[in-house]
Amino acid sequence: MKERILRFLKEENKTSAQFAEEIGVQPSGISHIISGRNNPSLEFVIKMLEKYNFLSTEWLLFGKGEMYSVKQNPSLFDFGNTYTSARDNNLKQLDNSKITTPETAAEIQTPDIKEKKNISKIVWFYDDNTFEEFTRENR
């Protein structure tokens, strides 16, 4: 299970300290699990699954199936089937009528654009002065 927790942290771009705070455990507890000193307790697993309800219980406990149990809308770079992350899960709160899909993207283009343009990079800036860059190569 240690490897799956590490994979989850990497996928969600979380530090062990952020993770500990979000699920309400001591950072030392996370450190002991990651180092292999301790195995996760049932209480730890329950807290993790309650906080990240999009995480597959079967994947976390047994390593079976996909990491995420909730399908997401297509990303900006890949319109195939993907699974949601915690960050993407928060986007579900947006009004769906305001979300641009590949079908509606052509409707909002300005008239002076003559050729189709593709998104090559997106940068998200966070209020803690950090940022993330997403490019086609990252997906």
The domain segmentation of the chain, as residue ranges, is 2-62, 86-138
- Per-residue pLDDT 10s for the chain (139 aa) are 899 999 999 999 999 999 999 999 999 999 999 999 999 999 999 999 999 989 999 999 999 989 988 655 555 555 444 444 444 544 554 444 455 555 555 555 555 556 777 788 888 888 888 888 888 765 5
The tokens describing 52, both together, are 């990240």
Write the CB contacts of 126 (distance below 8 Å, at least 6 apart in sequence): 132
Q: How far apart are CA 133 and CA 139, in angstroms?
A: 11
The CATH fold of domain 2-62: 434 Repressor (Amino-terminal Domain) (1.10.260)
Give the DSSP H or E segment for 121: strand 121-125
Q: How far apart are CA 43 and CA 20, in angstroms?
A: 13
By the 8 A CB rule, do 19 and 52 touch? no
Q: Structure pTM?
A: 0.51
